[in-house]
Structure 1
Amino acid sequence: MGYQDINADTVDGWVKAGWRWGQPIDHQTYVNAQHGQWDILLTPTRPMPHDWLFADMRGKKVLGLASGGGQQMPLLAAMGAEVTVLDYSQAQLQTERMLADHEGYAITIVRADMTQPLPFADEAFDLIIQPVANCYIEDVLPLWRECCRILKPGGRLLVGMDNGINYIVDEDREEKIIRGLPYNPLKDAKLMASIDTKEDGIQFSHTLDEQLRGQLQAGLSFKDMYEDYNGEGRLDQLRIPTFWASFAEKPAAR
């Protein structure tokens, strides 16, 4: 079993246990979005700026990349977007289907591994949105290249990312630095032996070079970004940022 399959099984278990990122929005939140009242989270606590979306989302083709769970896609559907969600977790995709059926909007659901070439044509989407998820894949640059490929000129990539700090501290108190970076169990046998893959999956830290510079190397250009916090725990209390969010754009054709 590859690490991608281990992570999909782990997420399925988290969803069944009530994982925050597997809980769909409620009906009133969907109705509010239809009337222009919405917030979208790419990271734990700080909603992304509204102007990261197009002023008019009606008819825009949107991909929710590894964003199953019924949180971002229904809001975008409520704004009139044509939504597609790609995820590798069966449970997350089941939640998407159930909510779409309940609210009566169309959604294309694709189960696929984002470490592989994305199963979409060139220039298929106006917008790609990905809440924190690339911590579950080892190499992010190929993904950025795929995102650039499937975006239309002028299309937007909105991404939440873990900046790595959560991986260096003890999990209980967040008081001590107990390991260095990168955090990569596939290349550290001692680290792999210390984790419970059923409970935690196999996660990876990524550098600024990989995550932000990598988007530039893939052919995108930055428009905006911000930092965010865990929302709980000592790092949050000390106001130590642990997440980034970025808004990048594919240059328009000349």
Structure 2
Amino acid sequence: MTVINQNRKAWNKKVEDGVVYTKAVSKELIDRCKTGEWEIGVTAGKPVPRNWFPESLEGMKVLCLASGGGQQGPVLAAAGADVTVVDLSEKQLEQDEQVAMRNGLQLKTIQGDMTDLQFFEDEQFDFIVHPVSNLFVEDIKPVWNEAARVLKDRGVLISGFTNPLLYIFDDEEEQKGNLEVRHSIPTSTIANFTEKELEEYYKGDVTVEFAHTLEDQIQGQIDAGFVIAGFYEDDFGGNRILDEYIKCFMGTRAVKLSL
């Protein structure tokens, strides 16, 4: 079992269980989007600022990267964009396909790994929307590099990611209301596992998550050829004790500048 296969299996199970991040948008919301009243999120709850997008998405080629679930993709398609959704989980992609069929939308779905977009040519998209998902890959530099490759010059990458501070605390203790520092960054949910412990972990339906440094998240985009042109923070909506102290999600708007 590999990390990719484990996370694919885990996300398929999340769809079956109806986890909130896998729930597709309603028909009523899509109907409103068709009238120009739309917004999307790439973090836990706060919407992406509307001025991060052009006034009209008509004719825009948009890649929703690691963004299955019937949420961002259908909304942007209803707003007029030419949308392609890439995700590791086939069941997440089925959510997008079902919304498209239900609402008469045109969008494409591709099952694939966010670190390897070999099925796309260079400079193919105007926008990439990348919600919180790069925590599921060990090395995020290929994510930024591939995004830069498939974006046109002056193309825009809108990304959501976690503040690594989220991962320094013992998860079980936090559930009890205690913030106990345990981990250093970078880390992962399988850090320091023995071979036997890893084998047992892979028998379950739990995702493997990686805590990346802020340098890899932000400077990683810059190194790939982007200029950071927008930033905001978001939290869990009061569902975690950390919300009392700090916001644990971030959103960035990055513009590709070809040299």
Bin of the TM-score, shorter chain as denominator length: over 0.9
Distance 1:191 1:174 in 2: 31
Corresponding residue for residue 75 of structure 1: 75
Corresponding residue for residue 181 of structure 2: 177
Q: Which runs of 5+ in 1 are unaligned?
A: none
Corresponding residue for residue 249 of structure 1: 255
Runs of 4+ residues over 6 Å off in structure 1: none
Task: Tell which deviates more after alignment, 161-170 or 81-90.
Answer: 161-170
Matched, 1:122 2:128: no
Corresponding residue for residue 225 of structure 1: 231
Q: Which amino acid in the other structure matches residue 184 of structure 2?
A: G
Distance 1:249 1:201 in 2: 31
Percent of pairs with identical residues? 34
Corresponding residue for residue 62 of structure 1: 62
- Distance apart, 1:118 and its partner CA: 3.8
Structure-2 change in CA distance of 1:169 and 1:142 (3 Å): same
Distance 2:191 2:170 in 1: 20
Matched, 1:193 2:200: no
1:214 pairs with one of 202, 210, 220: 220
Structure-2 change in CA distance of 1:158 and 1:199 (3 Å): same
The answer to whether the Cα contact below 8 Å between 2:9 and 2:89 also exists between their aligned partners in 1 is: yes
Q: Which amino acid in the other structure matches residue 189 of structure 1?
A: F
Instruction: Provide Cα deviations, 1:158-192, integer angstroms capped at 9, x if missing partner.
Output: 00001122222233135222322222356522699
- Distance apart, 1:196 and its partner CA: 4.0
Corresponding residue for residue 142 of structure 2: 142
The answer to whether the Cα contact below 8 Å between 1:57 and 1:80 also exists between their aligned partners in 2 is: yes
Q: Which runs of 5+ in 2 are unaligned?
A: none
Distance 1:191 1:202 in 2: 15
The answer to whether the Cα contact below 8 Å between 1:173 and 1:234 also exists between their aligned partners in 2 is: no
Corresponding residue for residue 166 of structure 2: 166
Task: Tell which deviates more after alignment, 124-133 or 222-231.
Answer: 222-231
Q: Which amino acid in the other structure matches residue 234 of structure 1?
A: I
Corresponding residue for residue 84 of structure 1: 84
Distance 2:39 2:156 in 1: 18
Structure-2 change in CA distance of 1:189 and 1:87 (3 Å): same
- Distance apart, 1:54 and its partner CA: 1.6
Classify the secondary structure of the residue corresponding to 1:16: helix
Distance 2:196 2:82 in 1: 41
The answer to whether the Cα contact below 8 Å between 1:222 and 1:249 also exists between their aligned partners in 2 is: yes
Q: Which amino acid in the other structure matches residue 135 of structure 1?
A: L
Structure-2 change in CA distance of 1:155 and 1:192 (3 Å): farther
Distance 1:44 1:16 in 2: 20
Distance 1:192 1:221 in 2: 44
TM-score (structure 2 length as normaliser): 0.91
Q: Which amino acid in the other structure matches residue 106 of structure 1?
A: Q
The answer to whether the Cα contact below 8 Å between 1:185 and 1:191 also exists between their aligned partners in 2 is: no
Distance 2:136 2:186 in 1: 14
What CA RMSD, in Å, does the superposition of the two structures yield over aligned residues?
A: 1.9
Distance 1:38 1:114 in 2: 26
The answer to whether the Cα contact below 8 Å between 2:116 and 2:146 also exists between their aligned partners in 1 is: no
Corresponding residue for residue 46 of structure 1: 46
Distance 2:24 2:47 in 1: 16
Structure-2 change in CA distance of 1:168 and 1:200 (3 Å): farther
The answer to whether the Cα contact below 8 Å between 1:186 and 1:192 also exists between their aligned partners in 2 is: no
